Amino acid sequence: MNSILSIKGLGKKFGGVCAVDEFSLELEQGTIHGLIGPNGAGKTTIFNLMTGIYHPTAGTMALRGTNLVGLGSYRIAQLGIGRTFQNIRLFTQLSVIDNVVMASGVDATYGMVDAIFKTRRYQRDEAKIRKRARELLDLLGLGGVSDERAGALPYGSQRKLEIARALAARPVLLLLDEPAAGMNEEESMELVGFIRDVRKRFDLTVLLIEHHMSVVMEICDRITVLDFGKTICNGIPKEVQANRSVIDAYLGETTDREN
Amino acid sequence: MLSSYAQGLIILVCINVIAVTGVSLLTGFTGLFSFGNAGFMALGAYVSAIASVELHAPFLVSLVAGVLVAAIIGFGLGRLTLGLRGDYFLIATLGFGQVVQVLIEFFDKVTGGARGFANIPPKTTLWIAVVLAVGSVAVAANLIHSKFGRNFTAVREQEVAAEAVGIDTFRFKQMAFVLSAMFAGFAGGLFAHYYMYIVPKMFDINESALFTITVVVGGLASLSGSVISCVVLTLLPELFRSLASYRMLFYGMAVVAIILIRPSGLMGYHELSFGWIRERMRAKRGKTASKERKT
Ligand SMILES: Nc1ncnc2c1ncn2[C@@H]1O[C@H](COP(=O)(O)OP(=O)(O)OP(=O)(O)O)[C@@H](O)[C@H]1O
Ligand SMILES: [Mg+2]
């Protein structure tokens, strides 16, 4: 097994509340891993810990052997973890394509002098960045709205734009926080196809938080189930679906919710 | 040839444009508010003036010395204060502006104190001022259209997302702050070598406030808006001399009017360009056309 991410004994307390407790995870390169559980289970908190927005109160995290604990968010992103946000965080005032271009810092190798004098190096990098941004937007089916204001897009398109923006930074591990929220069944299935596609094309590993069980069961190689910050199950989709405590804590509840 | 009064006005506009360009990078693009930029202008003015008068340095060397000192102090101040929340940063810069004034008065052996520093050689001619102002705006415009400007904008728009795509927000706040200090120091050096006589009062908090107001009126995220607003707000009180004592009142009213009529400022989020003008005209025509259809 070729592990890309290794988390051991991760914990986070907010005051007295234990949002994440003894969380461990090994991600195999190239896989899609699901993270599910009821509302408030601690899923988003784990993403925030992994991306340096929160700092853990216990445990270790490493990406390809590099320690992540204590690093700034931007540094973790530069090391190769990209993410989307459950509560969408686009640059709403800017155009769709500018949102993607903003994230292309890795492809801009020029310095300040190049920028001031618009040297050939500056022009070459900028042309490359624009071209790649357009390719990413086309890939997500947003090519037609690239000059619109990002904040004016419908919800589903905003979620897709967040994915395009995350990809522009060339991550090796992509964290998706409820990418199908607000999408109908058809759009969700389209998203599934898309996630598979980019995983392959960009040689990505994906960690996915999602409440749409059809999406999760369809796409994930393995799934971890959380409840009140604790891991109650970890296995392939079949095992998870058959697990008694998962049904009690979550799957039963979602069936109820959907009915 | 222009009268010396007109020349003086143009030079004043050019100097203000340079300082405001720096504040535009800091406030309009990075979203940080500073009430200390007149302090950096004072540093540039005094350092370059002392270099010219006491050390007989050539004009260019004096100017560069002023810019460098402003940059170094800006870097140190940024390091200490940019980690603070926005409003605390603002208060820290305000304090900095005051401290600069007090220090200039305290070291009166070198600076002339409250009596001022005189006999500065008149080196800032009309052409030098115009060329340097145009050059400064061009440098800022090119920076804005590069990854540097994008990273400033990302800080202003959405810090969490900026970090999530790998932008070191602290570093780019620091960069914008140092750049704004450098532009202010540069403007200060030109100012000193135009008026030939400087006193600390010329660089007080009012001056800092005017820079910020100019940028807000011109519109956030618009360098051309800042420049236009700077030209208008510098010239209007000068042209209506009798109103000069109401200058602050005038600025205040301009701000209130802008906030009420166009909250994003004169040119908020737009740059003046032929494409933009054409688009506006088309939009207007579209609006009138649809109105006609309705009636
Ligand atoms: N900044 C914070 N301060 C205090 N408590 C927090 C904070 N962030 C999260 N929590 C708490 O941690 C727990 C886990 O929240 P989290 O957002 O991780 O849940 P989640 O699994 O993502 O839920 P959902 O499915 O609703 O998105 C909740 O009880 C929440 O109230
Ligand atoms: Mg969540």
- Residue A54 CA, closest ligand 1 atom number: 1
Cβ–Cβ below 8 Å for B146 and A93: no
Contact A191, A215 (CB under 8 A): yes
pLDDT at B295: 43
- Give the nearest ligand 1 atom to A178 CA: 27
Report the residue of B157, B165, B171, B271 to disrupt the A interface, i.e. the one with the largest count of A CBs within 10 Å.
B165
Cα distance between residue A210 and residue A230, in whole Å: 17
Residues A225, A211: contact at Cβ < 8 Å? Answer: no
Return the pLDDT at A178: 95
Using CB atoms within 10 Å of the CB of residue B253, give its burial: 0 to 12 exposed, 13 to 18 middle, 19+ buried.
Answer: exposed
CA dihedral B11, B43, B103, B34 (to 10 degrees): 90
Mutate to test the pocket of ligand 1, among A13, A21, A44 (most ligand atoms within 8 A of CB): A44
Residues of A in contact with B221 (CB under 8 A): 93
The ligand 1 site (C-beta within 6 Å) comprises A 14, 17, 19, 37, 39-45, 86
pLDDT attached to residue B286: 65
Cβ contact B153–A82 (<8 Å): no
Q: Which residue of B has its CA nearest to A109?
A: B147
Residue A226 and residue A245 in contact, taking contact as beta carbons nearer than 8 Å:
no
Q: Tell me the backbone φ, ψ of residue A116, rounded to 5 degrees.
A: -65, -40
Return d(Cα A164, Cα B284) in angstroms, integer.
34
Residue A148 near residue A100 (C-beta atoms within 8 A): no
pLDDT at A256: 43
CATH architecture of B4-294: Orthogonal Bundle (1.10)
pLDDT, position A185: 87
Cβ–Cβ gap B143/A115 under 8 Å? yes
Looking at residue A250, what is its pLDDT?
76
Q: Which residues of A touch B169 (CB under 8 A)?
A: 74
Q: Is A117 on the interface with B (CB under 8 A)?
A: yes
Contact call for residues A225 and A250 (beta carbons, < 8 A): yes
Please check whether residue A25 is in contact with residue A7, taking contact to mean a CB–CB distance below 8 angstroms: yes
A178: left (phi > 0), else alpha (psi -120 to 50), else beta?
A: left
B141 neighbourhood in chain A, CB within 8 Å: none
Three-state SS annotation for chain A:
CCEEEEEEEEEEEECCEEEEEEEEEEEECCCEEEEECCCCCCHHHHHHHHCCCCCCCEEEEEECCEECCCCCHHHHHHHCEEECCCCCCCCCCCEHHHHHHHCCHHHCCCCHHHHHHCCHHHHHHHHHHHHHHHHHHHHCCCHHHCCCEHHHCCHHHHHHHHHHHHHHCCCCEEEEECCCCCCCHHHHHHHHHHHHHHHHHCCCEEEEECCCHHHHHHHCCEEEEEECCEEEEEECHHHHHHCHHHHHHHHHHHHHHHC
Q: Where are the domains positioned within chain B?
A: 4-294
pLDDT (tens, 9 = 90+) of chain A, 259 residues, equals: 689 999 999 999 998 889 999 999 999 999 999 999 999 999 999 999 999 999 999 999 999 999 999 999 999 999 999 999 999 999 999 999 999 999 999 999 999 999 999 999 999 999 999 999 999 999 999 999 999 999 999 999 999 999 999 999 999 999 999 999 988 888 899 999 999 999 999 999 999 999 998 899 999 999 999 999 999 989 999 988 887 877 777 776 554 444 3
Alpha-carbon torsion A91, A95, A100, A101, what sign? negative
CA of A45 from ligand 1 middle (Å) equals 6
User: Hey, of A63, A81, A89, A126, which one would you mutate to test binding to chain B, going by the most B CBs within 10 A of its CB?
Assistant: A89
Q: Is A247 on the interface with B (CB under 8 A)?
A: no
- Per the CB < 8 A criterion, the answer to whether B124 and B10 are in contact is no
Rg (CA), chain A: 19
Measured from the Cβ of residue A208, the count of other Cβ atoms closer than 10 Å reads 22
- For residue range A15-53, list pLDDT tens digits in order: 888 999 999 999 999 999 999 999 999 999 999 999 999
Q: Phi, psi (5° rounding) for residue A4?
A: -100, -35
Say if B165 is an interface residue toward chain A (CB within 8 Å).
yes
pLDDT at residue B290 is higher than 70? no
CB A195 within 8 A of CB A162: no
Residues present in chain A in total: 259
Residue among B273, B206, B277 at smallest CA distance from B237? B206
* Residue A205 bridge partners (DSSP): A173
Question: Which residue from A105, A162, A148 is spatially nearest to B152, judged by alpha carbons?
Answer: A105
Distance set, CA B176 to CA A72, A113, B264 (Å): 20, 15, 21
Asked whether the predicted pLDDT for residue B291 surpasses 70, the reply is no
Ligand 1: which residue has its CA nearest to atom 12? A19
With an 8 Å Cβ cutoff, are A115 and B146 in contact?
A: yes
Highest mean pLDDT among B45-49, B210-214, B220-224: B45-49
Taking the model in full, what pTM does it have? 0.91
Nearest CA in chain B to A91: B157
ipTM: 0.92
User: How high is the pLDDT of residue B1?
Assistant: 65
Q: Is the CB of B275 inside 8 Å of chain A's CB atoms?
A: no
Residue pairs spanning A and B at CB distance below 8 A: 91
Q: How far apart are the first and last CA of chain A?
A: 40
Model pLDDT, residue A258: 40
Distance from CA of A73 to the nearest CA of B (A): 5
CA B212/CA A142 separation, integer angstroms: 38
Q: Once rounded to an integer, what is the mean pLDDT over residues B70-74?
A: 98
Please give the structure tokens belonging to residue B126: 């009309």
For the cut 70, the answer to whether the pLDDT of residue B261 exceeds it is yes
Quick check: B122 pLDDT over 60?
Answer: yes
* A172 touches B: beta carbon within 8 Å: no
Please tell me the number of the ligand nearest to residue A85's CA.
2
**Structural domains in chain A?**
1-80+170-259 (3.40.50.300), 91-168 (no CATH)
Closest to A116 (Cβ–Cβ): which among B143, B165, B167? B143
